[in-house]
Chains A and B, each alone.
Chain A
Amino acid sequence: MDAHAIQFKLQNRLSDLKILSRNLQAFGERQGLPQKCVFEINFALEEILTNIISYGYCDEQPHWIKVRIALDGETLTIRVKDDGRYFNLSEVMPPEINCPLEDRRIGGLGIFFIRKFMDRIVYERRQDTNILTLKKQIRR
């Protein structure tokens, strides 16, 4: 396996998000990524995985979600694969964030952050699998 890549899988339960933070922390240290960058990736991926775990499945069965993160020069490529229902992030409307406190809703904010923290988001649906590819430029 590529020294600049990491691969892991999670089951569709929120407690498995620990697997994400543990792997990401180790990867960040090994590759010398800035703490802010590791934080942003963690934030975005936690959003994506929480969406899949919470809304992606119609049955009560265990499912595996696969994550691969690779660093090529200063470009990070993150790929998330799941066998949940069709879900394309790009079709979700951004939230209204300039309204007063009373009207603020947190829903949709997660996706707003994913767009903010990632430079490129590509969604594909291939044979009952969602494949989300994210790119992030590392700024040191």
Chain B
Amino acid sequence: MEITERQQNDISIFSLSGRLDSNTSPDFEKRLFDVMGQGSRRMVVDFGSLDYISSAGLRVILKATKDIKRAEGVFVLCAMKDYVREVFEIAGFDAFLPIFTSLEDALQQF
């Protein structure tokens, strides 16, 4: 999996490509929490090029959502493939985690 990270104003944007599974989730978790550790409270994860997510990937997203909410920050996801989005819906994560169809839409929420 490839993770690219950039800043736009005070928003951290992570773009994932490839597979977020039990082998790659620890790396993504570290990157997310490093950025939070540096004080970032506004984050977007762009799933546009992500082909696969496992429950290990969901676990990282759930953990980040809880931590950012606790810090009164904003955490949103965007641009998921239909079958990836379905996993979030089946898990019920869409009830507390905003998922936008495009990065552009997601950035308008800040």
A residues in contact (CB < 8 Å) with B: 14-15, 17-18, 21, 35-36, 39-40, 42-43, 46-47, 50, 97-98, 100-102, 104, 106, 109-110, 112-113, 116
Residue B35 interfacial (CB < 8 Å): no
Binding site for A on B (CB under 8 A): 19, 21-23, 52-56, 58-59, 62, 65-66, 69, 82-84, 86-87, 90-92, 96
CA distance A14 to B92 in the complex (A): 27
Q: With A40-B83, A106-B55, A110-B55 given, is the CB distance from A101 to B65 under 8 Å?
A: yes
Which of chain A's residues have a CB closer than 8 A to the CB of B21? 17, 21, 46
Rank and list the top 4 A-B pairs by shortest CB-CB distance, nearest first. Answer: A36-B83, A97-B92, A101-B96, A106-B59
- Could you say which residues of chain A place their CB within 8 Å of the CB of B91? 97, 109, 112-113
In this complex, the member of A98, A100, A106, A110 whose beta carbon has the largest number of chain B beta carbons within 10 angstroms is A106
CB contacts (< 8 Å) of B86 on chain A: these are 36
Contacting pair B87 A35 (CB below 8 A): no
Residues from chain B with a CB closer than 8 A to the CB of A15 are 23
CA distance A39 to B53 in the complex (A): 9
Partner of A109, one of B23, B52, B58: B58
State in angstroms the CA–CA spacing of A116 and B87 once bound together. Answer: 10
Nearest CB of chain A from residue B106's CB, rounded to whole Å: 19
Asked whether, in the complex, the Cβ of B62 is within 8 Å of the Cβ of A104, the reply is yes
Instruction: Give complex CA distance A97, B90 in Å.
Output: 9
B104 to chain A minimum Cβ distance, whole angstroms, is 25
Which residues of A are found within 8 Å of B58, using beta-carbon distances? 106, 109
Q: Is B54's CB under 8 angstroms from A43's CB?
A: yes
Please give me the residue from chain B that is nearest to A105 by CB atom.
B62
- Give the distance to chain A from B74, nearest Cβ to Cβ, in Å: 14
Q: How long is the Cα–Cα vector from A111 to B83 in the complex, in angstroms?
A: 18
Q: Which residue of A lies closest to B56 (CB)?
A: A50
> Complex Cα distance A35/B52, Å?
11
Q: Are A46 and B66 in contact (CB under 8 A)?
A: no
Rounded to whole Å, the gap between the CB of B102 and the closest CB of chain A is 20
- Shortest CB-to-CB span from A45 to chain B, Å, is 10
- Whether A17 pairs with B22 at a CB distance below 8 angstroms is yes
- The answer to whether A102 and B66 touch across the interface, beta carbons within 8 angstroms, is yes
